[in-house]
């Protein structure tokens, strides 16, 4: 049996776009012509294998691009996926329609459950060839936004910092230093305001156009469908918002008033003061990033044999990139590398309590992906998760 690959050694090669689309269209055609459930199931499993592989290649390119947005090779690959993914959606739509119309749908549901068909119905109404162009532009703008955030080089005191690296100063217990850090960050956003405004404006108009091309009055119904909201509706969300106003806003008001009193500042809190929880300073991790990961290992070792195996795999195979470095995208996420049946965690450790929370939050998403790594259909595995 081959030695499990480290993430850095996982091979990447751009797929042949036309060949992949042709494969998916052919699978849809063969599914429609299947004479028995056994034949239809075999075609379905071929589709599963292909989808796993394409998803893996896409994620490898995306992860490596987000780790260093200045890498010219993966920058070009991200541009490829921004163009190709919407084009592939047309072939995927043909497959989804064939599945929904298959006479063997009851057999598939009996073996694999009906959720995949519920999600397929949502997917089917979320796409039309008419919106491929808008989807491609949307992908390019989203990538541009990520690169813009990653490009930040903010001068502060005696150093220069990325947005993530500046965060500890924004929670400093010293009022003047904390406010200065917020102003330094604000100055960078102000300097790039025109680009942020342009990206936002273009995305709003693109998404509104897509919604209208699909027969809606705006983007909102399509937005719900894109998130696969298959167990609650817009009406449910409106009820939840009403409950938030009634129950949570008054509670938050009390909490923030208590924070202002504790800090000895006026209410309502400024951005800079809202970032400080205690006058003595916010909780911060003790030790180095390696110490945090070692503590995480002890935690998962003691929790269960399953979590121990999972976290050891993440450490041993380099499936976490957690240091905040120049050129790296902001934020964090967890995704899956389906060909290798492993998750991947992306984060930006910066000396705040969020570093520790990654080991429970993103690693929690990772464990969900780990426990579902062999699940069929592939669409049931957890999608890319962000905080």
Phi and psi at 303, nearest 5°, equal: -70, -50
Rounded CA gap, 329 and 65, in Å? 9
Residue 65 lies in a domain: yes
The reported pLDDT for the residue numbered 89 is: 98
What's the pLDDT tens digit per position in 131-166? 999 999 999 999 999 999 999 999 999 999 999 999
The reported pLDDT for the residue numbered 387 is: 60
For residues 35 and 118, membership in a common domain is answered with yes
Residue 171 lies in a domain: no
How many other C-beta atoms can be found within 10 angstroms of the C-beta atom of residue 277? 14
Residue 245 lies in a domain: yes
- In the chain, what percentage of residues exceed pLDDT 70? 98
Rounded CA gap, 349 and 165, in Å? 8
The reported pLDDT for the residue numbered 380 is: 74
Residue-range definition of the domain harbouring residue 259 = 232-281
The reported pLDDT for the residue numbered 109 is: 97
Q: How many domains, the chain?
A: 3
Residue 97 lies in a domain: yes
DSSP 245: I
For residues 25 and 74, membership in a common domain is answered with yes
Cβ-contact 356, 364 below 8 angstroms: no
For residues 40 and 86, membership in a common domain is answered with yes
For residues 261 and 306, membership in a common domain is answered with no
Domain-terminating residue out of 251, 281, 311: 281
Residue 341 lies in a domain: yes
Dihedral sign computed on CA atoms, order 338, 224, 78, 16: positive
What's the pLDDT tens digit per position in 346-361? 999 999 999 999 999 9
DSSP 339: G
Residues 6+ apart with CB under 8 A from 220: 211, 234
Cβ-contact 329, 42 below 8 angstroms: no
pTM of structure: 0.95
For residues 125 and 15, membership in a common domain is answered with yes
Residue 137 lies in a domain: no
The reported pLDDT for the residue numbered 383 is: 67
What's the pLDDT tens digit per position in 359-375? 999 999 999 999 999 99
Rounded CA gap, 169 and 111, in Å? 54
Rounded CA gap, 279 and 275, in Å? 11
The reported pLDDT for the residue numbered 3 is: 77
The reported pLDDT for the residue numbered 2 is: 61
Domain-terminating residue out of 88, 114, 129: 129
Domain-terminating residue out of 114, 129, 144: 129
Low-confidence ranges of the chain (pLDDT < 70): 1-2, 382-383, 385-387
Residue 184 lies in a domain: no
Phi and psi at 211, nearest 5°, equal: -60, -45
For residues 268 and 343, membership in a common domain is answered with no
Identify each DSSP E strand in 150-236 by its residue range.
Answer: 154-156, 159-161
The reported pLDDT for the residue numbered 327 is: 97
The reported pLDDT for the residue numbered 158 is: 94
The reported pLDDT for the residue numbered 378 is: 86
Where b means 16+ CB within 10 Å and e means fewer, 217-250 reads: eebebbbbbeeeeeeeeeeeeeeeeeeeeeeeee
Residue 385 lies in a domain: no
The reported pLDDT for the residue numbered 1 is: 47
């Amino acid at each position: 049996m081959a030695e499990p690959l480290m993430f850095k050694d996982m091979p990447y090669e751009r797929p042949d776009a036309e060949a992949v689309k042709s494969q998916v269209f052919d699978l849809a055609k063969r599914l429609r012509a299947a004479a028995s459930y056994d034949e239809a199931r075999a075609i379905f499993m071929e589709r599963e294998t292909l989808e796993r592989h394409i998803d893996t290649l896409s994620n490898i390119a995306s992860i490596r691009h987000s780790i260093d947005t200045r890498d010219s090779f993966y920058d070009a690959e991200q541009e490829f996926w921004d163009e190709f993914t919407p084009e592939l959606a047309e072939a995927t739509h043909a497959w989804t329609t064939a599945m929904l119309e298959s006479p063997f749908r009851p057999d598939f549901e009996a073996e694999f459950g009906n959720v995949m068909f519920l999600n397929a119905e949502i997917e089917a109404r979320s796409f039309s060839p008419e919106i491929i162009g808008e989807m491609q532009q949307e992908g390019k703008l989203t990538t541009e936004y990520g690169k813009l955030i990653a490009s930040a080089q903010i001068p502060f005191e005696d150093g220069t910092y990325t947005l993530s690296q500046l965060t500890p100063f924004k929670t400093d217990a010293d009022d003047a230093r904390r406010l200065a850090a917020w102003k330094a960050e604000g100055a960078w956003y102000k300097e790039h305001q025109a680009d942020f405004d342009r990206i936002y404006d273009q995305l709003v108009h693109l998404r509104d156009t897509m919604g209208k091309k699909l027969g809606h009055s705006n983007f909102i119904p399509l937005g719900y469908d894109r998130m696969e909201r298959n167990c609650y509706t817009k009406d449910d969300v409106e009820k939840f918002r009403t409950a938030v106003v009634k129950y949570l806003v008054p509670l938050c008001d009390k909490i923030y008033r208590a924070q202002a009193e504790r800090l000895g500042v006026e209410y309502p809190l400024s951005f800079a003061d809202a970032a400080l929880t205690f006058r003595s300073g916010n909780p911060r991790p003790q030790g180095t990033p390696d110490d945090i990961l070692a503590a995480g290992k002890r935690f998962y070792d003691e929790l269960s044999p399953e979590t121990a195996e999972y976290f050891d795999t993440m450490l041993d195979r380099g499936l976490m990139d957690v240091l905040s470095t120049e050129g790296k995208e902001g934020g964090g996420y967890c995704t899956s590398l389906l060909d290798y049946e492993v998750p991947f965690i992306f984060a930006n450790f910066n000396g705040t309590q969020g570093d520790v929370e990654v080991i429970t939050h993103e690693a929690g998403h990772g464990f969900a992906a780990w426990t579902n790594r062999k699940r069929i259909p592939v669409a049931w595995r957890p999608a890319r998760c962000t905080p």
